[in-house]
Amino acid sequence: MRDGDSADVEPSGRLLLAATPLGDPRDASARLLTALASADVIAAEDTRRLRNLANALGVKISGRVVSHYDAVEAARAPVLVDAIRQGQTVLVVTDAGMPSVSDPGFRLVSACVAADLPVTCLPGPSAVTTALVLSGLPCERFCFEGFAPRRPGERRRWLAALATEPRTAVFFESPRRLATTLADAVEVLGEDRPAAVCRELTKTYEQVLRGSLAELAKWATDGEVRGEITVVVAGAEPSVAPLDALVARVRERVDGGERMKDAVSAVAAGSGVPKRELYAAAVSEESAESAEDGALSDD
């Protein structure tokens, strides 16, 4: 476990992860501009996009620029770790958004953590949270699922795992596969599940479509979809088991020697039925059975 670095001592070498604008360069933070101008090494997912961003921001890059995309990240990590050990600042940027979030960066962070080297982050734009708040769907709890699987079988199994997920789900998808993925989602999650398709976030042709999965699937099928796509799908509604079935389960546990209060708590968990309501129903049935037994004995 590494203690935080003293606020009075600047580490001689460190790894910086920096979020870059999704589209509009004006979303760049002041700290990103400083880092671009001063970093000893900039590891960029696409070096051409990096230089275009620097030009748009009016920043002159003084450090060494190296490519840092998925296929080379593992091989680059030891070299970049050595640079940090030697006292250099290594800045990692991707094409848009936050490094490591479905983009290169995770392997290098892991290597630096293992080597006990300083790692920090310059926060900023994220397609995940931007799409989430624009979707109009609940944001209190959500899960990020990365890119949807490409193969049909894997994609259906992946969607099936989301069928009972109560949290809002956010994932990325290629515009070429969006129609197929949404059609699969209709079959697996249901045509009425609320969702949103967010396209070209913060860019000139930003578009957010909200509706049911069936409506969005039809839109994606009817026209040509372009640009960067983020999909947001509402979580599953909690399923409510029939009250009489829950009461029967409570009775089984009570007959097995469990206290009524404990049995109700155990059965009510995850059922969608409040404990107070289930307890009242269980007590009512017990009272009715006792009354019936008393009437039979009188006969």
Section 66-91 average pLDDT:
96
Q: For residue 8, is it within any domain?
A: no
Distances (CA, A) of 134 to 103, 111, 146, 173, 215: 22, 35, 18, 17, 18
pTM of structure: 0.76
Task: Tell me if residue 184 falls in helix, strand or coil.
Answer: helix
Contact partners, residue 158, CB within 8 Å, separation at least 6? 145, 148, 149
Q: For residue 40, is it within any domain?
A: yes
Give how many domains the chain has, as a whole number: 3
The H-or-E segment that residue 29 falls in is: none
DSSP state of 59: -
| Residues 39 and 83 occupy one common structural domain | yes
Q: For residue 1, is it within any domain?
A: no
| Residues 91 and 163 occupy one common structural domain | no
C-alpha to C-alpha distance for 98 and 200, rounded to whole angstroms: 16
Q: Please report the pLDDT score of residue 273 as a whole number.
A: 81
What residues pair up with 147 in beta bridges, in sequence order?
172
Segment 25-57, tens digit of pLDDT = 999 999 999 999 999 999 999 999 999 999 999
Confidence of residue 297 (pLDDT cuts 50, 70, 90): low
Domain boundary (110, 125, 140) is at: 125
Q: For residue 6, is it within any domain?
A: no
Range of the domain at 55: 14-125
Q: For residue 266, is it within any domain?
A: yes
Instruction: Report angle CA 26, 28, 32 to the nearest 5 degrees.
Output: 150
| Residues 93 and 180 occupy one common structural domain | no
Torsion angle in degrees (nearest 10) through CA of 265, 270, 275, 280 = -100
| Residues 106 and 152 occupy one common structural domain | no
| Residues 39 and 116 occupy one common structural domain | yes
In the numeric block, the tokens 């949404």 are attached to 182
DSSP state of 148: P
Section 71-85 average pLDDT:
96
Specify the CATH number for the domain of residue 27.
3.40.1010.10
| Residues 38 and 99 occupy one common structural domain | yes
| Residues 135 and 120 occupy one common structural domain | no
C-alpha to C-alpha distance for 46 and 51, rounded to whole angstroms: 9
For CA atoms 48, 53, 56, 59, give the dihedral sign.
Answer: negative
Tell me: pLDDT of 3 over 80: no
- Complete DSSP assignment for 197-251: EEESTTSTT-EEEEEEHHHHHHHHHHS---S-EEEEEPPPPPP---HHHHHHHHH
| Residues 172 and 200 occupy one common structural domain | yes
| Residues 134 and 169 occupy one common structural domain | yes
Specify the CATH number for the domain of residue 228.
3.30.950.10
130 token code pair: 């931007």
Q: For residue 298, is it within any domain?
A: no
Tell me: pLDDT of 21 over 80: yes
Domain boundary (125, 159, 181) is at: 125
Section 263-283 average pLDDT:
85
Q: Please report the pLDDT score of residue 267 as a whole number.
A: 86
Segment 104-153, tens digit of pLDDT = 999 999 999 999 999 999 999 999 999 999 999 999 999 999 999 999 99
Higher pLDDT, 268 or 293: 268
Q: Please report the pLDDT score of residue 134 as a whole number.
A: 98
Q: For residue 182, is it within any domain?
A: yes
| Residues 225 and 253 occupy one common structural domain | no
Q: Please report the pLDDT score of residue 6 as a whole number.
A: 41
Confidence of residue 266 (pLDDT cuts 50, 70, 90): confident
Q: Please report the pLDDT score of residue 288 as a whole number.
A: 66
DSSP state of 60: -
Confidence of residue 289 (pLDDT cuts 50, 70, 90): low
In the numeric block, the tokens 């990590």 are attached to 77
Tell me: pLDDT of 5 over 60: no
| Residues 87 and 55 occupy one common structural domain | yes
Q: For residue 157, is it within any domain?
A: yes
For the chain, percent helix, then strand, then coil, each to nearest 5?
45, 20, 35
C-alpha to C-alpha distance for 7 and 119, rounded to whole angstroms: 14
C-alpha to C-alpha distance for 22 and 194, rounded to whole angstroms: 25
The amino acid at residue 231 is V
| Residues 100 and 145 occupy one common structural domain | no
The amino acid at residue 72 is V
Domain boundary (125, 148, 169) is at: 125
Segment 189-209, tens digit of pLDDT = 999 999 999 999 999 999 999
Task: Tell me if residue 54 falls in helix, strand or coil.
Answer: helix
